[in-house]
Amino acid sequence: MLGSLKPHMPTQNAQTQQIVPVILSGGSGTRLWPKSRKAYPKQLHRLYGEFTMLQHTVKRVSQYEAPIVVCNDDQRFMVADQLTEVCNSKAHILLEPAARNTAPAIAAAAHYALQQYENPILVVLAADHLIKNINAFHTALEHAINAAQQNKLVAFGVVPSKPETGYGYIQAQGTSGPDGCAIAQFVEKPNLETAEQYLAAGNYTWNSGMFVFGAKKFLEELAASGGAWINHCTQSVEKADKDLDFVRLEQKNFAACESISVDYAVMEKTNKAWVVPLDAGWSDLGSWESLWEASEKDDNGNAILGDAFVKNCKNSLIHSQEKLVAAIGLNNVAIIESDDAVLVVNRETTQDVKHVVDWLKTQNRTEFLHHRQVHRPWGAFDSLGMGSRYQVKRIEVKPGASISLQMHHHRAEHWIVVEGTALVQKGEEEVLLTENESIYIPLGQKHRLHNPGKVTLQLIEVQSGSYLGEDDIVRFSDSYGRVEQVAPAEMQTKNELKD
């Protein structure tokens, strides 16, 4: 059907139909290395404004029901902490036991939403997109919700500003007004000549990967498209377990799902596909080049984030996290400083950052996985220095939080309190420490660290011993369900994660 939808007069059911955001937060974002890492991807970082990208996404749809956020197990506590800071009501966090692309993730969220509401409208958003014009976004969202209430499966098509070769496109069946129109086809990322033709045609938009549809209608169209994996996805939700504040999708069935995008699984097959144009300063921030394009710039075209001295530079991106960055006489360059790595790259080749990440993996280096500072459910730690038989870390423990009750076979630890109060279990003894006090934990002794105070506990840990790898840990009890011993086959380097 061409043209716009008829004005929708809501029925009683439509008036009570809940709008539920579904936020997909499972990406790794390695093209934004060294800021984004596998264990701490770009959606959990503050790349612009005062919030992380995940938090910006949640705030865009805060007027609706509590969001359903789909993420992986490794990032669950960081996601939960960030949601607590910005959500008006408690979010629902679904944990994917395996990465299976967007269709299974959205299908699981749709099934879960139908357990909570009668027939909600789902607003499916990626956690790592930038949208500058929030008012324009909300206007387009209203049109999309209206279409979804008339059983359309709506995709947001971003009005193109240039012949972009890095995005897939949506071809509309006609010239789309604000209400949108039917989709003729989805097309893959084009070459430059084809992208220029799409731009000139006027009925092509960038495929944003954001959607709006009724949960029931989506699942009906998904079932009609076929695929044995769909029943596995349903079973993974029905057999899901509640774990603290998380919903763990059942592993065996979810792992049996096909790894397939929602475009291939549904949108390209249904006759209900609809596109609503979005002209709201959208970007997926998929590279440092796209961050430069989206950032405010000085008179010389430089985007400067953090502590930097810049002289005689043009059209460059300077991103400093911890150290002063000095740049002189550079053009079209991106300099990205993190706590343990520095990237210097021509802006036109920032897509090639993935080659650095691939190399780090082949060299078994940890810089592709996590930063020097590593986040944990109880807080974080920062590796300050190490030698052949020692390692020094700065540890932060959130108020009321505890590390697991544990022991080590090969190392002893010395804790010095810098700020706050520490309650230390050492064997059968409990010791309360305040600032400038310390305690020694001998090799082989059970111990636990707890913060009983209302401010963050900060301490310095000095490890010493013949082996300092983080697989040398045995947990006896844990507030976060991590009681199994780390297996030797999962041995990690000395810079790896501390539990």
CATH number of the domain to which 209 belongs: 3.90.550.10
385 and 338: one domain?
A: no
272 and 236: one domain?
A: yes
At 69, the amino acid letter reads: V
**Which among 218, 249, 283 is the end of a domain?**
283
**Which among 283, 314, 331 is the end of a domain?**
283
Tokens 């070769």 map to which residue? 165
Q: Nearest 5 degrees, angle CA 77-CA 82-CA 85?
A: 130
The whole domain housing 58 covers 12-283
Neighbour-count burial of 395, counting CB atoms closer than 10 A to its CB (0-12 exposed, 13-18 middle, 19+ buried): buried
Asked whether residue 2 is domain-assigned, the answer is: no
Sign for the pseudo-dihedral over CA of 103, 105, 106, 107: positive
68 and 145: one domain?
A: yes
Cα separation, 460 vs 449, whole angstroms:
13
Q: Residue 292's closest CA among 314, 309, 274, 308?
A: 314
173 and 306: one domain?
A: no
Structure tokens at 388: 């052949």
90 and 60: one domain?
A: yes
Asked whether residue 497 is domain-assigned, the answer is: no
DSSP code of 280? S
| pLDDT for the residue numbered 497 | 39
Asked whether residue 187 is domain-assigned, the answer is: yes
Cα separation, 212 vs 292, whole angstroms:
29
Positions of E strands within 142-245: 153-158, 169-172, 181-187, 204-214, 241-243
244 and 298: one domain?
A: no
Asked whether residue 366 is domain-assigned, the answer is: no
345 and 458: one domain?
A: no
**Which among 231, 255, 283 is the end of a domain?**
283
Alpha helix segments (H runs only) across 92-150? 102-116, 134-148
Chain centroid, CA 12 distance in Å = 37
260 and 339: one domain?
A: no
Asked whether residue 279 is domain-assigned, the answer is: yes
| pLDDT for the residue numbered 5 | 59
38 and 130: one domain?
A: yes
pLDDT average per 10 residues of sequence, the chain (499 residues): 45 65 86 90 90 96 96 91 91 95 97 95 96 96 96 96 92 85 94 94 95 97 91 96 92 95 95 96 92 94 96 97 95 95 95 93 90 89 92 96 95 97 96 97 96 97 91 87 48 38
- For the entire predicted model, the pTM comes to 0.86
Burial 17-31, CB ≥16 within 10 A → b, else e:
bebbbbbbbbbbbbb
192 and 240: one domain?
A: yes
Asked whether residue 495 is domain-assigned, the answer is: no
Q: Which helix (H) or strand (E) holds 221?
A: helix 215-225
Asked whether residue 485 is domain-assigned, the answer is: yes
Number of domains in the chain: 3
Cα separation, 303 vs 319, whole angstroms:
8
Distances (CA, A) of 447 to 71, 401, 425, 426: 32, 15, 5, 5
Asked whether residue 7 is domain-assigned, the answer is: no
| pLDDT for the residue numbered 6 | 52
